[in-house]
Structure 1
Amino acid sequence: MVLAMAGFALEDMLLKRVAGHGMPVGQILILFGGGGSLLFMALTRAQGQAIWHPAVVQPRMLVKAAFEVLGRLFYTLALAFTALSSASAILQATPLVVVAGAALIFGERVGWRRWTAISVGLLGVLVILRPGLDGFSMASLLAVAGLIGFAGRDLATRAAPKVLSNFQLGIYGFLAMVPTGAGLLLWQGGAVMPGLVDCGQLVLAICIGVYAYWALTVAMRTGEVSVVTPFRYTRLVFALILGLLVFGERPDAMTYLGSAIVVAAGIYTLLRTRRVAPQA
């Protein structure tokens, strides 16, 4: 999970740079999703597995694809219109939503202490957003929509049919971005011709993104959700470093405070899970 978060932070940085050079978000989704799905197809065939499997059209897989689209679309828009550090800070609430979903959907044991930590963590997101205050930005809500999509995607990955390999899941996770990007691109007014630097950054983002997606899928399908997901908070550390070094971002005190609240809630959730797991 930690390695996946490092990869996603690098991927976010590269996609934000490409969007900053004027490439429409819809075009980024088409190229990124199409390239990632082709790479996963090659990996699938190299393992002697079939690219198509009837289990792909099962309802739980369609739900996974819908959440994948929701998460990718809105979070990529958030990267384009907000600071990398701010969008990543909001995304840190995803593990809390996943733990809550694991309790409600999969029946994993989550006591009142962890429910309290989840509530405190969500309050931390409100501190970052600052609704009704001068520092509030409507664009930040794009990151909130993205975290809901990614949380749903992670939970659906947990429920994905076991007959599908991690590589096969990756094919359709990335492929779902292509029609979404096409629809968004029509609304944005058409594609642009990317430069050589942007092409290189997109190829690098695809390779890193495929690796990170695979690592995330392995983590979510192998470990208990409430144990694995708190390690997603490492993404914030990577994002803050990249935001400072690459974009010169310096988050304000409220963003740091909200991030600290969210991370503290996640750390407590992890520690509490370790304590109650032997009892369960």
Structure 2
Amino acid sequence: MTPNLRGSLLMIAAMAGFAVEDMFLKTAARALPVGQILMIFGSAGMICFVLLAKAQGARLITPALLSPAILLRAASEVAGRLFYTLALALTPLSSASAILQATPLVVVAGAALIFKERVGWRRWSAIGVGFIGVLIILRPGLDGFTPLSILAVLGMLGFAGRDLATRAAPKTISNLTLGVYGFAMMVPTGAALLAWTGGAVWPSPTTAATLAAATLFGVAGYYALTAAMRVGEVSLVTPFRYSRLLFALILGALVFAERPDAATLIGSAIIVASGIYTLLRGRRSNPA
């Protein structure tokens, strides 16, 4: 199996895990404030990754953690997780996931600008078309515009920055160690949000089980994503993120009875088509 194929399969597995995680987090947000969810979810995920890291002998403390790439990754993690969790709580799962599908387009653009990967004018055009798809979903200036959808856009930009920083992270830091600190960043972020909004409550057994399930799927997805971003070329692996939208549409319809409108479906189709085209052009430009 080639590195690019392995990275692509890992990305699809990660997106399935994240879609299920989103479903559980959105369900938990009905009973708990978002800040409290971030604290509990971050703590549980951090503990899981610490145990996995210890079992595999990964170093949890290393000077490389203070490298610029890791610090940038931490800041991007905070922005991505905070704004996207707010989007999950306040907007439909299908629309938030649709906007998130623009992440690979931002990552491919970043790979060209930062890592000097070859991205021709056709893929740059596809990136532009994909952003048009995002605007169709947002509908700025029209009656269907929902300002809260901007939260999903901010979360998408945060996750794109995290993925690019993961690529630049020192190879001496294991995927498990990155997972530990990625989840750890959610704890102070959630605490700050909860201190601002207030309203902490004791979770019921059902809500606690929901958060536990979200943690399990989130840890699995997070590990697969981190591994995918460190295998193969960024511009070839990241377009497989679009599979998350398919999982989200199915879960949104089955669990939350969501029925996306025409603009959301059209915008989603444009974003996905742009991602697929970017992938195909990337394979043609980099046949190895």
Q: TM-score scaled by structure 1?
A: 0.98
CA RMSD of aligned residues (A): 0.8
CA distance in 1, matches of 2:57, 2:277: 43
Give runs of ≥4 in structure 1 deviating > 2 Å. Answer: none
The question of whether the paired residues in 1 share the 8 Å contact of 2:59 and 2:173 is answered with: no
How far does the alpha carbon of each residue in 1:232-272 deviate from its partner, in whole angstroms, 9 at most, with x for none?
00000000000000000000001000001111111110111
Counterpart mapping for 1:16-165 below 5 A: 16-21=26-31, 23-165=32-174
Give how far 1:184 is off.
Answer: 0.1
How far does the alpha carbon of each residue in 1:67-119 deviate from its partner, in whole angstroms, 9 at most, with x for none?
00000000000000000000000000000000000000000000000000000
CA distance in 2, matches of 1:126, 1:256: 12
Aligned length: 278
Task: Determine if the alignment matches structure 1 residue 215 to structure 2 residue 224.
Answer: yes
How far does the alpha carbon of each residue in 1:124-178 deviate from its partner, in whole angstroms, 9 at most, with x for none?
0000000000110000000000000000000000001100110000000000111
- The one-letter code sitting in structure 1 at the alignment partner of 2:104 is P
Give how far 1:50 is off.
Answer: 2.5
Aligned identity (percent) is 68
Matched residue, 2:282: 273
Matched residue, 1:241: 250
Give how far 1:35 is off.
Answer: 0.7
Extract unaligned runs of 5+ from structure 1: none
CA distance in 2, matches of 1:271, 1:60: 29
Extract unaligned runs of 5+ from structure 2: 1-10
CA distance in 2, matches of 1:182, 1:190: 12
- The one-letter code sitting in structure 2 at the alignment partner of 1:169 is L
Q: TM-score scaled by structure 2?
A: 0.95
Give how far 1:57 is off.
Answer: 1.5
The question of whether the paired residues in 1 share the 8 Å contact of 2:77 and 2:185 is answered with: yes
